[in-house]
Structure 1
Amino acid sequence: MDIAAIFKRAWEITWKHKGLWVLGFLANCSGGGSQGSSNISRIPEYKIGGGEFPEIERWFQSVPDETWIIIGIAVVCGLLLLALLFWVLAAIGNGGLIAGFQMAETGESVTLGSAFQQGISYFWKLLVIQLIIGLASLLVFGSGIIGGVLFSILTLGLGLICLIPFICLLVPIGIAISIYTLLTQIALIVEELDIGAAFRRAWEIFRSNPGQIILMGLILGVGGFVVGLILAIPFVLMALPFVAGLVMGTDTSSLTGLTMTMIGILLYLPVLLIAGAIMRTFITGSWTLTYRDLIKAKTA
């Protein structure tokens, strides 16, 4: 397997068929599929003393508790529906990306509409694959966590030391499961298999080529992490006006700095979304081409 050739071809398809970027954006709706990190910085806390906004306080106090409960339930339901929508869009986007790269490799015309239609046609099967692997992972990891907690309680906390290696293994195991899930989805679309056959085929490819798959995963994972760090640098720079305003210590400087920071973030957000969509398109395409190369080598 020529990794350099795969990356070159994946980038050529990514750049040529820019409509796939839309599917990359949709695939990113789940928040998964790419490696990275998020840091939560502490923001200075400002407290407003009671009585500064009496009308607002009286309005909040006049709202019955039952109303707040209804509002809370509505917000939770809305968030759940939004998460479900993002999950559906991500599945369609991921399926469309795989199908788009497959069409490009087989010489078919690749358009956003055709790839999106393919994503919709495979949606339910992709959803079932995610549910099966997700529930199986939840069962295994959940049982392990519960067992570990009980073991720690019975050993008065000393068992936690024995669980450290297991905890350290969770990250690579999680990454391996993510790769296997993607390979199963690729097998489903590229070879037009049913769900059971796709699981078996992906496991066969995974088991027969562990070194090549791990190497590809490391390159894409580390590369994605580095690109993510580079894309995060502007956020640090955009925070400088706000920090400078806080250092100056006046209300005007703080408000001006905050305004400049927020404007910068709003202007940079589209760039970040486009870059993320391109990166997701390239990564999914690289895995699709990798799978095609591996099955060719196996049948050769």
Structure 2
Amino acid sequence: MDYMDTVRRGWQITWNNKWLWLLGFLAALGSGGSAFNNSNYQVDAQNLPAGSGGLTPGMTAALGGGILLLLCVFFIIGILLWLVSLAARGGLITSVVELARGETSSFRKAFGQGWRKVVPLLLMTIVLFAVMIILVIVMALLFAGTIAGAIAAGSSGSDNLAAILGSLGVGLLCLLCLLVPLSLVLNLIYPFAYRGIMLRDLGLMDSIRHGWSVLRDNLGNILILGLIFFVVNVVIAVIFGGIMGLVGLSTGLLQVMMSGNQATTSQWVAAGLGFLAASLIFAVISAIVTAWRSATFTLAYQQWTGKDVIKETVAPVPPAPTM
């Protein structure tokens, strides 16, 4: 296949239909939904200084309940963002195919097409990554159990502790050696199983088998296209890092932090505004690249499965009758 022509066609569709950028932004939301799960709250009422009033058991219970409620709200928001991301990804796929055929599409139509398939997309995602999720849980349990055993055996001597930690390292290494290639394969199957649902209306298991078939038959082409966008992402990351560094230098925050001094309030405010502006610019660029990558892989998928609209032949016009 002509890689650069496919990349160019994907860019043309993305640039000429800028509402695809919004779908790209929504599609990227699913990757940030788990950020709420990293919060850690701890309140130690016994260590409060005297005279601060402390926390009564009722206040502690109320605080704990409030934190739990907040975490539940964040969890629900994360799930909703994930569903929106699934629908947006589906809409990107169908709209690119329609636009490549010369048909009309719109944000509302594309998102609606994705939302109607959000349940099978959700089930396919869960089933496809179920084994990896189980392995991650097993690794977490193994780590926690071994650490607990090491603490319990700490008083028995360093030999027992070293043996337990050694067993932990071997077990985690074996699971990691299984998890890394499995994760790579599943993440390569996933986009084509996705397109099987959106473009071929395949069922749950049929879409996964279809994704594996496309991956197996076109592995080299897929890796080359993936490498192209990997380079694009690296370039964008370097540019973004440079912009962040310039913001820190221009506001004097970086010099102050490196010298060990304390920054002024105006420096923090200026740096915060600069970082916010840079982050917004990066979010727009990320949305464009997400839409571009999806469009390119959709056009490539059409070629790999014999559905490329550019190469489809049109029935010849019958010759005029001779007199």
Report the TM-score range of the alignment, normalised by the length of the smaller protein.
Answer: 0.7 to 0.9
The alignment partner of 1:296 has SS state of: coil
| Residues 1-300 of structure 1 mapped to structure 2, 5 A cutoff | 1-31=1-31, 61=55, 64-143=59-138, 156-159=164-167, 160=169, 164=173, 167=176, 170-240=179-249, 241-246=252-257, 253-296=263-306
Q: CA RMSD in A?
A: 3.3
* 1:11-57 superposed Cα distances (whole Å, 9 cap, x missing partner): 0111011001111010110117xxxxxxxxxxxxxxxxx98xx9xx5
Partner of 1:47: none
Q: Residues 68, 214 of structure 1: CA spacing in aligned structure 2 closer, same or farther, 3 A cutoff? A: same
- 1:2 Cα deviation from its structure 2 partner: 1.6
Report the Cα distance in structure 1 between the residues aligned to 2:166 and 2:55, rounded to whole angstroms.
49
Report the Cα distance in structure 1 between the residues aligned to 2:133 and 2:258, rounded to whole angstroms.
47
* 1:235-276 superposed Cα distances (whole Å, 9 cap, x missing partner): 22222322334467776x522211110111222232121111
* 1:138-194 superposed Cα distances (whole Å, 9 cap, x missing partner): 124545776799999996444535864763564443233122111100121122323
- 1:214 Cα deviation from its structure 2 partner: 2.3
Task: Give the stretch that moved more between structures: 267-276 or 217-226.
Answer: 217-226
Report the Cα distance in structure 2 between the residues aligned to 1:242 and 1:70, rounded to whole angstroms.
39
Q: Which amino acid aligns with 2:9?
A: R
Q: Give percent identity, aligned residues only.
A: 22
Report the Cα distance in structure 1 between the residues aligned to 2:307 and 2:146, rounded to whole angstroms.
46
Q: Residues 74, 200 of structure 1: CA spacing in aligned structure 2 closer, same or farther, 3 A cutoff? A: same
Q: Which amino acid aligns with 1:259?
A: V
The structure with higher relative contact order (CA 8 Å, sep 6+) is 1
Given that residues 27 and 91 in structure 1 are in contact (C-alpha distance below 8 angstroms), is that contact kept between their aligned partners in structure 2?
A: yes
Task: Give the stretch that moved more between structures: 208-217 or 179-188.
Answer: 208-217
Please list every run of 5 or more consecutive structure 1 residues that lacks an aligned counterpart in the other structure: 33-49
Q: Residues 156, 239 of structure 1: CA spacing in aligned structure 2 closer, same or farther, 3 A cutoff? A: same
Q: Residues 158, 65 of structure 1: CA spacing in aligned structure 2 closer, same or farther, 3 A cutoff? A: closer
Given that residues 20 and 97 in structure 1 are in contact (C-alpha distance below 8 angstroms), is that contact kept between their aligned partners in structure 2?
A: yes
Report the Cα distance in structure 1 between the residues aligned to 2:222 and 2:301, rounded to whole angstroms.
9
How many residues are matched? 276
Q: Residues 65, 198 of structure 1: CA spacing in aligned structure 2 closer, same or farther, 3 A cutoff? A: same
Q: Residues 255, 146 of structure 1: CA spacing in aligned structure 2 closer, same or farther, 3 A cutoff? A: closer
Report the Cα distance in structure 1 between the residues aligned to 2:84 and 2:288, rounded to whole angstroms.
17
Q: Residues 234, 156 of structure 1: CA spacing in aligned structure 2 closer, same or farther, 3 A cutoff? A: same
Report the Cα distance in structure 1 between the residues aligned to 2:104 and 2:59, rounded to whole angstroms.
60
